[in-house]
Structure 1
Amino acid sequence: MNPEITAARAYPITDYLAAKGIQPERTTAGKAFFYSPFRAERTPSFCVYLNSNRYQDFGTTEKSSDIISLVMKLEGCSFKEAVSRLLAAQGQFTPIREQFTPADPTQSISLKKVKALENRALLQYMESRGINPQLVR
């Protein structure tokens, strides 16, 4: 497994929530109960399992999940961005490295010239959608 992902998953959910100003309402052996960060409620239904660093929102039908999923859901970001944010919060500013194969330097890149859009039906459609025809061309 990717070491950055492993490090991000190790960030304690309780620390992440505390940084967002969310404190537990009660703590029992191995569990911390919070009011859900996703909705208003009178009884805490958001449980963090302290030993496994996983959470479960009992106000939904979702199964338990990890901190990366929580960050994605709370902050509306991608998996990669959630991992980056968690690493930054831990002081590990290492960006996630993309898995790719380098381009072959012996191959050349050819660029093609693009013609202006002239199809009347497409231009009319774009205009009907409120898109400036000059911009489309």
Structure 2
Amino acid sequence: MERTEIDAMRQIPLADFLARLGHEPVRRSGNELWYIAPYRGERTPSFRVNVAKQLWYDFGLGKGGDIFTLAGEFVGSGDFMEQVKFIAETANMPMPVPEVSKRTFLPKPSEPVFEGVEAVPL
């Protein structure tokens, strides 16, 4: 997978990512944006984004992380490629293609050579 594409995804501001998904902060306090948790129902905002560090933390769930783990909460998957796909779709980015290891071409199985062999009754 292209390192640069993953790095580009890592650079997406979490606030922009959440805004694309239709979630706006309820409150701002210094470097922190507070949201109603975007992937579960709640009344009191307990979802925080640190704008300086580009990390999120959900006090209601007791977990947090970066844009990839956040995407994982939305798609309900810990699978990195699922997270990358969700981010690419949300941010209108091309989906990074995993690097295909150099193909190893297996030699075509050679057919047994039966030239000049006679079939004789036993």
Q: Report TM bin, short chain.
A: 0.7 to 0.9
Q: CA deviation at 1:58?
A: 0.7
SS state of the match for residue 17, structure 1?
Answer: helix
Provide the rounded CA distance (Å) in 2 between the counterparts of 1:59 and 1:5.
28
- How many residue pairs are counted as aligned between the two chains? 107
TM-score (normalised: structure 1)? 0.66
Alignment-mate amino acid for residue 11 of structure 1: I
**What is the TM-score when the length of structure 2 is the normalising length?**
0.73
**Bigger proportion of residues as helix:** 1
In structure 2, give the amino acid aligned to 1:37. P
Q: How does 1:51-66 map to 2 (within 5 A)?
A: 51-62=52-63, 64-66=64-66
Backbone CA RMSD of aligned residues = 2.2
Residue matched to 2:14: 13
- Structure 1 Cα separation of the partners of residues 29 and 108 of structure 2: 62
**Where in structure 1 do 4 or more consecutive aligned residues deviate above 4 Å?**
none
Which deviates more, 8-17 or 79-88? 79-88
1:40 aligns with 2:41: yes
Tell me the CA shift for residue 74 of structure 1. 0.5
* Aligned counterpart, 2:75: 75
Specify which structure has the bigger relative contact order, considering alpha-carbon pairs within 8 angstroms and separated by 6 or more residues: 2
Counterpart CA distance in 2 for 1:96 and 1:71 is 18
Partner Cα distance (2:45, 2:95) in 1: 35
8 Å CA contact retained: 1:34, 1:45: yes
What is residue 117 of structure 1 aligned with on the other side?
A: none
3-state SS of 1:47 partner: strand
Q: Percent identity?
A: 30
Contact persistence 2:21–2:90 (CA under 8 A): no
- Which structure 1 segments of 5+ residues have no match? 109-137
Structure possessing the higher radius of gyration over alpha carbons: 2
- SS of 1:56's equivalent in the other structure is strand
Q: Give the secondary structure class of the aligned counterpart of 2:65.
A: coil
